[in-house]
Amino acid sequence: MTNTTCWIDIPQNSDFSIYNIPFGIFSTTLHTPRVGIAIGNQILDLVAASELGIFSSLDFSTHVFSSTTLNSFIALGKEITSKVRTIIQEELTNADSVLKTDSSVFVNQKVAQMHLPVFVGDYTDFYSSIEHATNVGTMFRDPNNALLPNWKHIPVGYHGRASSIVVSNVNVHRPMGQTIAPDAIEPTYGPSKRVDFELEMAYIIGKKTNLGDTVNVANAEEYIFGKVLFNDWSARDIQKWEYVPLGPFLAKNFASSISPWIVTMEALEPFKVAGPEQIPEVLPYLEYTGERNYDIGLQVAIKPENGEETVVSNSNFKYMYWNMAQQLAHHTMNGCNINVGDMMGSGTISGKSKDSYGSMLELSWAGKKPLKLKDGSERTFIADNDTVIMRGFCEKDGKRVGFGEVKTKLLPIKK
C-alpha cells in the first residue's frame, strides 16, 4: 500500500507499522486465547473487531478468531486472509472507522500473553546458507573442499521435532546427552557443554497438498502464509557424536523457539531482492525467475543474568543460497504432502563477515575465539541463565515491517 497515516499512535521505528499487520494468538486476564494483530504497541482483538461488523463484506465464519491457533484462519486461504488484512489496514487509516468507537477492541501488548501462533503438525529444517555450510565444512572437514558434493544441487534438509517448538519467553533447559572427548574411546553421559543458538527464520505453510502432489517453484509462495523468527537451539557436542550416520537427533530436538507474530508474505512483498548466483545450474524443477530472496535485517544479542545485552551478530536473510520456493518445491517433489501450520526452518543464516555469522559455533570458531560481552565475561557457547534475543525487520522507502523478537533464557539442567 502507499504511504499512509494510521490513527493509532505508532512509535517511530516500530516493527508493527500499518504496512505490517502480523497475526498472532494472545490472551489476557480478561481475554481467552484468540486471534489478534499487532499495531504499534497495541493488539487489535479480532474477536471484538469482528463483532463491530468490519468483516461483514466477506463470506466466512468469524468464529475462527476465537480459536487458540491460527490454523483455521489460515486454512480459509489467501482469498480471505489477505482481504482481512487489507480491511484492517483500511479501518486503521479511516478517521471515521467504527473501531474508534470502542476502545476495548485494543489491548496493550504489555498486558498480553503471547501463545504459539499455530499448531505445528510437522517441522522441517533446511541447511541453505552457503556461508554457514562453508564455515562448518572448513572447521570440521576440508577447508579446500568445505561443501559436500550434493550441497549445490539440492536444498539439504531434515525432519525435525514439532512437539518441542515453543514461543518467545518460554525458557528452555540445558539438555543432557552423550558426548565424547577428543581423545576418548567411549562416550559419557551428562549436560551439554556446547549449547548454541542458530539464527534462522521459518515459514508457515498456508495451503495443504495431498499425498502425491508436488509444488512448483513458480507458485510455491501461494502455499506460504508468512514468516517468523526462529532460534533452532543446538547442542554441538551431542551433535558431533550422534550425527553419523543419520544426522541431527537429540542435539536439536530439545527445543526450538519462534517469535509470536506471523508476518504475512503480502507484507514482505516490497522487500524482495535477487538471490546469489547458483553455480552450477540447478535441475529444471528448481529453476526460478524473478526476485525470490528477502532483505530482512537480523540481529542476535546475548544477555547474561542481571546484565546488559551484547549484540553478537548482524546478518540478513537475503544471503540465503536456496530460497523458500526452491525449498518447498524440493520438499514436495517426491509427493510428500504438506499441511496448514507446518513449519519450515531456513537453516542457520550467516553472512560473509565474521560479525554476521549465525551461531556461536562460527562466531567463536568452535570455541577457539571467545566473544567478550559488555560485562567483561566471555562466551564460546551459551552459559546457564543467558538470554538469547533475536530481532528482525525490513525497511525501505520509509516503510518498516518487523518481526518483534524471539527471546529465550537457557536454564540449568532440569533436576
**Which residues form the catalytic set?**
132
Contact call for residues 371 and 363 (beta carbons, < 8 A)? yes
Three-state DSSP state, 379: strand
Q: Which residues contact 278 (CB under 8 A, 6 or more apart)?
A: 152, 321
β-pair partners for 394: 401
Question: Which residue's C-alpha cell is 499441511?
Answer: 339
d(CA 243, CA 252): 10
Question: Which residue's C-alpha cell is 532460534?
Answer: 231
Contact call for residues 120 and 165 (beta carbons, < 8 A)? yes
* Integer angstrom CA distances of residue 163 from 119, 166, 175: 9, 8, 16
Side-chain half-sphere of 286: how many Cα atoms within 13 Å?
19
Identify the helix (H) or strand (E) that includes residue 24.
strand 23-27
Question: Of 232, 385, 391, which is closest to residue 313 (Cα–Cα)?
Answer: 391
DSSP summary character for residue 262: B
d(CA 10, CA 407): 22
Q: Which residues contact 223 (CB under 8 A, 6 or more apart)?
A: 205, 206, 207, 209, 215, 328, 338
d(CA 297, CA 289): 23
Q: Which residues contact 271 (CB under 8 A, 6 or more apart)?
A: 294, 295, 296, 394, 396, 401
Contact call for residues 316 and 297 (beta carbons, < 8 A)? yes
Residue 300: Cβ within 10 Å count: 29
Beta-strand pair 310-316/399-411: unpaired
CA angle 354, 358, 364 (to 5 degrees): 55
Question: Of 400, 406, 403, which is closest to residue 11 (Cα–Cα)?
Answer: 400
Cell of 36: 489478534
